[in-house]
Amino acid sequence: MEITGCRILVTGAGGFIGSHLSDRLAANNELVLVDDFSVGCRENLAAIAELPGVNVIQADIRDGEKMLELCRGIDVVFHLATSCLRTSLGAPTLSHDTNAGGTLNLCLGAREGGVGRFVYCSSSEVYGTAEIAPMSEQHPLRPTTVYGASKLAGELYALSFWRTYGLPVSVVRPFNTYGPREPWEGARAEVIPRFLLQLQAAEPPLIFGDGTQTRDFTYVDDTVTGLIGAAGCDDLVGDVVNVARGHEVSITRIAELLAQSLGVPEIAPVYGQARPGDVARHFGDVEKARRLFDYQADIDLEMGLARTIEWFREHPSASGGNSGASAPNW
């Protein structure tokens, strides 16, 4: 399936990954961009919101009737709206209602609306901690948090609609996406921007746990490439695929690289109590994506961090105020 000249619905379009995906799709498609803007922001869509064929709609995916209405006449759904991992620690019901219940609503709407391709953006958190590395799509599914469990429930709902109703579903499991527009404040604050802001304020990066935990950090442009590639791959219908850089790096090493890039290598991280449910190791196997749709992550970690730092420097509103060293990160 060619992802061009399509009418595309993107949920979570005002969020981090969703806005970058929407930017990429806007050149050759008609877009319906949906977000409740509880976390995502309209500013992330400013570059495309006024383009012909782009319609930004404020709506909640927990509203089943609205999702049915929005799915009518849609060729492709990219379902990215989610309640994040850290939110799930204090509000597990919200995580369930949004990630599992919201996905069921989208599936019902997509089936009724005759959607031609449904791409569910899941998460590497469905695996839990790596038992075998690198982690292929056959790795055991043992999520450690309600977030991971609710994302897995969304996968199962989506794939059941393929098996029962023939809805053409593809599931993508991204690993640890980072880059410009990544959340930097509040409960959704991610580790790279959080460390960056702490270091810019001459504060030591706060690591929860011993820092040996690893992640497969993937630059947002590469994640978007994977999502679009998966959407266009007919052989992936009814199946799941990883999207990652295919390398692991420790959280302590991330802090060191950022300190070096900012010219403050003398600022060493400090360590706090481990976060509940934190996974010890993530390292994605991307052979399946390479084989099925020639996927390759083009941005290495050093280049991705440099681009991220540059973006934060160009957007002072993302760098001002209290660095929030006590905010959770991973």
* 219 catalytically annotated: no
Catalytic residue among 120, 147, 157, 295: 147
| 246: nearest Cα among 298, 304, 308 | 298
Q: What are phi and psi of 23, to 5 degrees?
A: -55, -45
Q: Give the active site residues.
A: 147
